[in-house]
Structure 1
Amino acid sequence: MPVFYKGELFSGPGGMSKGAQEAKVTDPQTGDIYKIEHLWANDFDADTCKTFGKNICGNEEDPSVHLGPVEKLPIGNQNILPDIDCLAFGFPCNDYSQVGKKHGLEGEYGPLYSYGVKAIREYQPQFFVAENVGGLQSANEGKAFIQILMELEECGYHLTPHLYKFEEYGIPQARHRILIVGIRNDLYEKGIEFKVPAPTTPTPDKYVTSKQAITDPPILDFSLNHDFPRHSEKVKTMLSHIPEGGNAWHPNIPEELRLKVKGARLSSIYKRLDSKRPAYTVTGSGGGGTHMYHWKENRALTNRERARLQTFEDDFEFIGSRESIRKQIGMAVPVKGAKLIFEAILKTFAGIEYDYVDPEPKVQLENLRAKQDKRAAKELANLV
């Protein structure tokens, strides 16, 4: 039974790992089952580590889940972090997000990808999966994306980066993320070449809607993490004037109930879901008005409803306060999205064909390196 043992950095509550656990492929020729098993993980948030431990390991305090900043993680120490066959890391997106300040590599979180690079160099896993927001492509005028790809390639891997639009894969949410799959060069040269799996719901009429995700099947009143939020009468009255898909600037809202804030009219502030479409992106932070709102009822979603949009099953229990859980859910990789990627990787190793598409953006690292060299030469010339 071919088993790939996985290490994970910036693990979050376990969306990536749950998808990896659920991904199993049977070789039709030999009957061998290809699967992925958790070996160790790391995150800096205590509640997040407990959530991961409970749901992935069966124990909130599992010693394989290492709490603390990645900078202090003993990467390469076989006694603490033993050898792995694959690595997953969703390095923090704060400095690459379109809704953030977009500091890129120069931000507080921008350089943290380098610990993924360090782990790849130390362990030389057979494959890795790195995840970040779509804004990674444009951070630092594209320099961040180029640098990250070049460093990963220099570790000895063939890369397939792709912007996945998860609504095209049956996820009830318009969540667009860059995932970089790396196959070690010696394996790639033997014919193990990862292909981007083709969308399973490629047209809008096939998308899973937010209403379908939340109501089919219904969420039971006693379900985990399903506490209903409390709102002031003013907020509930304002919401009553906002139609599906509308936000705090909808013209139906009476003047006395409107927010006294200029701009941001296309934002997600007090924005209702559209029951006929996938949800807009679930986020993990933000103050009043950013909690994602029900298409009909005058309230924000519960954490269990948000978890449904991230394709967590109802028996997946999040640990922590309501706001801590909201953050965990918003930062997670959709379980079914991760499962689809890992299944495609396992099929690649098993030699099983599947439908695929060309990656977007199409990246030729030789061209990127040439552009970077030209840019560096130009900047140097300007300094002379």
Structure 2
Amino acid sequence: MIFRKGELFNGPGGFALGASLARVEANGELYTVQHQWSNDYCDSACDTYTANICPDKPESVHRGDVRKLDLTSFEDIDAFIYGFPCNDFSVVGEKKGFDGNYGPLYTYGIRVLEHYRPKWFIAENVGGLQSANEGAAFIKILSDMTAAGYRLTPHLYNFADYGVPQNRQRILIVGFRNDLNMEFKVPAPTHGPGRDHPYKTAYEAITSPPIAEDADNHHMPVHTERVKKFLSYIPEGQNAWSQEIPEELRLNVKNVKMSQIYRRLDRNSPSYTVTGSGGGGTHMYHWSENRALTSRERARLQTFPDNFVFHGTKEKVRQQIGMAVPPDGAKAIIEAVLKTYAGVQYKSIKAKWDIDHLLKQTSMELVTL
């Protein structure tokens, strides 16, 4: 069975690549996911998505502001994925929630659910969503998805637990259409202490196999001598606030000590979270070499293969890589979705949130939104 997939806010195609790799054989049938259509407002992301996901069907990638699209004019779909913009829910931003420009954009996914009635969907956002608008935004979103006719399983995932060489926490909401009488179970983590596999390390991701010198998106960063000297004093796994940095080289910043500023990777652990924006000192730094990572190295930490080429300026490429869902993590979750549909049992854990309990909290909170 092939599930035809629609996607909003497609980014460079991390979720789409993971979906294309997902395979489940059961009941004498092969269950897969196939790209049908997608949308994003960023031209560079659309160029990347088209080149890597659907080069033979460029017209299926609808470019532009989702608020200006006729969402009822696309082809029919059986599955839907959308990582609605997280800028207003992220702990890195101002956390404006529904009061920002991006917070309300999740409603366009609700419109897709109501019009196309896909069998299942996955929505993705940052962990900060759970506390936006003092928690009311999360409940409102879940309430609207439930009202659209879906049984939900929301959970806070760390993709490192599923073989991604990066500590990256994201909320995924998986929903099955009510009439299917199916309930998604959170797949049990496969990586980490006491599990089937150890965590995949940053060193393993970046060096095995070695990245070819002429690989796409692998331009070495250029630093001033002062920055290189500054980095030389930072031990592996530590950051700009290391006590080993000489006084004359330390940053002249008061009352701010963000942990990711000039932070080196720890080669024996998954990396910290790859981000898509930020000023000096936020580009992620090699465990021993006195430099920032290349875009290709950051893409490795996100589990993109080296033949997945990102299009656009250096900053647009960084943005795409940092905002993407790791394909290997997406594949693990989508295969659990396919097993659920096929009736295949798999190891699972209890979801972080009980949907019925959460929705009982709606009466007071929603009035204030």
- For 1:46, the equivalent position in structure 2 comes to 43
- Structure 1 residue 14 corresponds to structure 2 residue 13: yes
Distance 1:369 1:354, change over 3 A: closer
- The CA RMSD measured in Å over matched residues stands at 1.6
- Structure 1 residue 203 corresponds to structure 2 residue 203: no
- For 2:222, the equivalent position in structure 1 comes to 230
TM-score (norm 1): 0.93
Percentage of identical aligned residues = 56
User: Which of 48, 53, 69 matches 1:56?
Assistant: 53
- For 1:69, the equivalent position in structure 2 comes to 65
- Give the secondary-structure state (helix, strand or coil) at the position aligned to 1:174: coil
- For 2:335, the equivalent position in structure 1 comes to 343
- For 2:184, the equivalent position in structure 1 comes to 194
Distance 1:198 1:110, change over 3 A: same
- For 1:278, the equivalent position in structure 2 comes to 270
The superposition leaves residues 22-45 of structure 1 with CA deviations (integer Å, 9 ceiling, x where unpaired) of 001111x32x11100000000000
- Structure 1 residue 304 corresponds to structure 2 residue 296: yes
Q: Aligned AA for 1:362?
A: D
TM-score (norm 2): 0.96
Mapped contact 2:176–2:184 kept (Cα < 8 A): yes
- For 2:100, the equivalent position in structure 1 comes to 107
- Give the secondary-structure state (helix, strand or coil) at the position aligned to 2:59: coil
Structure 2 segments unaligned to the other structure (5+ residues) = none
Distance 1:349 1:376, change over 3 A: closer
Distance 1:66 1:135 in 2: 28
Deviation at 1:87, TM superposition (A): 0.6
Deviation at 1:159, TM superposition (A): 0.2
- For 2:83, the equivalent position in structure 1 comes to 90
Q: Aligned AA for 1:18?
A: L
Distance 1:373 1:288, change over 3 A: same
Distance 1:312 1:156 in 2: 34
How many residue pairs are counted as aligned between the two chains? 367
- For 1:371, the equivalent position in structure 2 comes to 361
- Structure 1 residue 24 corresponds to structure 2 residue 19: no
- Structure 1 residue 178 corresponds to structure 2 residue 177: no
Distance 1:52 1:301 in 2: 23
Deviation at 1:140, TM superposition (A): 0.8
Deviation at 1:375, TM superposition (A): 4.7
Mapped contact 1:168–1:203 kept (Cα < 8 A): no
Q: Aligned AA for 2:210?
A: P
User: Which of 240, 258, 275 matches 1:248?
Assistant: 240
Give 4+ residue runs of structure 1 displaced > 6 Å after superposition: none
